[in-house]
Structure 1
Amino acid sequence: MAITRRQFTLGALASSALTATGLAASPGAALAATYTAYVMTYFTESPNQSGANYGLHVAVSRDGLTWTPLNQNNPLVTPTAGDLGLRDPYIFRKQDGTFVVVATDLYGTNFGRNSQYLHVYDSTDLTSFTGYRRIRMHTYTNVHTWAPTVFWDAGRGQYAIVYSANTSTDLFLVNYTSDFRTASGPQTYFSPGFPILDADIRVSGGVTYMFYKNLSNGNLYGARSSTGAPNSFTTYTSGLRQGNAIEGAHLVPRNDGGAWWLWGDSFSPVNNDMYLWSTGNVGGNSWSVMNQRDYTPPLNSKHGSITGITDAEYNAAVNRWGTPNWVRLKSSNFPDYFVRHSNNAVRIDPYPFEPYQDQMWRMVPGLADSAGVSFESVNRPGQYIRHSGYVARIDPNDNSSTFRADATFYRTAGLADSSWSSFRSYNVPDRYLRHAGYVLRIDPLSSSSSATDRQDATFRVTS
């Protein structure tokens, strides 16, 4: 059985009650307009599990769509109790403005291992995650405690922790807490008559919205309640799915208040894409599939959660943990494809693939001209992308003038999209790196070239 990703609620920094948009009484809701960036927590897996890591990973984003992993995409902290690993980390801004992270107590993919606990961390400003502990949610035997989500229940004056369990069937339980150290006994929160997984909950305009997976048909659905109380939800959306299989519904309000996003995971380790929908009305039943060209999750990320953060929090996290010293190159017209090396050839292939490091490049000052760039392989250090007979490949740097020239490119505005990038050859200056038949080469291109040719030569530099 697969697990899920998680999500966050809108946070709390001040002490007022309701905003003009009617968000539930929460200090953070009053200052939602001050959130100018986003943070994501997640764990990592790759097709053959070479990229699997069950510590707490964190990424940041200015726009909520293109993500930058912190700490070189390594975990910031790793559990030291229970199963010694976490899945489905869910970050939530508490009433005092600080953060709490709750996560499934499970290492790896042995889903037959069942824990009564959740991992818990505290964070003041994303520069540290401290106070590590586990919180016991129930005393059942052979019952899992998966994929927690958190919301502030204003009527109770407590936080609700909702999670997937398998008591009489696959359903959601809820415990209430004031301090994320002790919690009330579990109650059935939602059990609609068919098995379910992966709750994600957000309160807006006096309505509590919950998205979940229906295990009977594999689709994601939205339900809502006027109170957020247990057993008070009614499903109101049609089923949603992208890819072959999906889970981990993950509901995110945009910081500008203009729309909502709904993320979903492929649950198979061999295809760990994240998918995205958008809507201008979370209470409606109209979700638009977003083009993968428009969003790039962190490398190998699984089952994440997202919340808005301030500019100060974004800068503090970046300054503390650092951004990657490598990049990836995403194709403009095949947006699920990334540039990678394979048997010394350089090509684009659909993500994910193994070895996943084949798509990671150090973009360094040009070997022939520091005003340009060269691309050094991360997992084959000392080898660079160069052209030979106009075809791209990676070769060891022999420090010859010919090699340095072949391996140097000028980064320009993207020929198909000026917000992306194209790369013009240093020593054959009318030619650009482009893919043709999925293989990279350099060809003569200009702004008057065909739309297809220009798209083939346009890439997003991301991480």
Structure 2
Amino acid sequence: MKAALHRAAVLLLVAVTCVLGLPAPHAAATPAVRYTNPIAEQRADPHIVKHTDGFYYFTATVPEYDRIVLRRATTIQGLASAPETVIWRKHSSGEMGAHIWAPEIHFINGKWYVYFAAGRSDDIWRIRMYVLETSSANPLTGTWTERGRITTPWDTFALDASTFAHNGVRYLTWAQQEPGIATNSNLYIARMGANPWTITGPVTRLTVPALAWETRGYKVAEGPAVLQRNGKIFLTYSASATDANYCLGMLTAPASADPLNAASWTKSPTPVFSSSAATGQYGPGHNSFTVSEDGQSDVMVYHDRNYRDISGDPLNDPNRRTRVQKVYYKADGTPDFGIPVPDGATPVRLRSYNAADRFVRHWEYRAKLEAAVSPLADSQFKVVPGLAGGGTVSLESTNFPGYHLRHRNSELWVERNDGTALFRGDASFSQRAGLAAGSAVSFESANLPGRYIRHVNGLLHVQAVTDAQGRADATFVLE
């Protein structure tokens, strides 16, 4: 909401100052959120939370399904190399003796809680939800107490407990198989009672998987995760089988509405995040949300695989990896998750410095400026080592890997790298401090020194910059 208001204010001020004949102001630059994926191999159902102590805490399902692990680091990227601590192991027999799934860690009323699902040693599919508690400031070194099972109206398959607070009220959301409904799991919500492992009052069924993309392989709605932004509550969830069909749907409710009223929620008609053959990412799902280190950006955390075909039961395939990428927002405040980005450095968007609502995108391979880009990935580029070397950079398309921004007859296009020296030179740039603002960036052509990427009448060119207008046109904010 703050970002949207800021941009609106900038545009209004631009209009006013133009009428008065004054120089137009520019949007402030904010550093791009960049990480390197994957964050963790063989870690599924990831949950990352940033705490007030300055640490990120990370837990996830291990492929052995036999323990709960925890890491912490002062940065999201730091979690990739942070030591891992086993904070709890499955029981040797009976309840909580098998299928230890999808742990989440939450800090509530001065204590740490881990929500997880578990089966029995004598019936591994008798999955129910459980809670651990520690009062230690550092949950990696604390003593964990089993607070037992979360009781719901039905003694049936139940998993993926998550919790969030809204307007001073704490809620529990989860997935469960309801008697009389022929699905594997539906989504539910209830208020929490006297403690973080007890629900109270009515239970509301939020959604039943019924659409084609929710019922591939299995009829599944699971893994709820809540993001509260822009006057709305967004609840993402995972659907279909845990292979390449796995994907995310989303429910949306106004922040002013009652979350316990099923009518408050609207379901997305299509997946909001799904497999991408272009980027080589399959079955993205079971996500959570955290915030960037500077607190300015939301970050989606999820798992996927980097191959489509699986031999046997997907649950026996250990190679789901934890990944992260920045959440962007549409003009109406709705999150736009785009596509699962390629492995390696996460991409950025190039926002125009002097047309603050417009981004560099490709359209039929021509590079241009546009607002409200759809699909999002058309405006996402990986900043990679320059094809021409020498400390330069190249800008690689996110949804067309192997295609780079290059200049041809002074025009900027997105084209496939043909391996020639000419292409390498045309697609390489020296990244400079912004010609119009040092906190932003400008890109100088590697083989045409003195010429920069700039926009002219909405199209991108490589041209010489000789005046203040040109300097502004050749300055971009990486987001």
Q: What is the TM-score of this pair, normalised by structure 1?
A: 0.49
Larger relative CO (CA 8 A, sep 6+): 1 or 2?
1
Q: What is the TM-score of this pair, normalised by structure 2?
A: 0.48
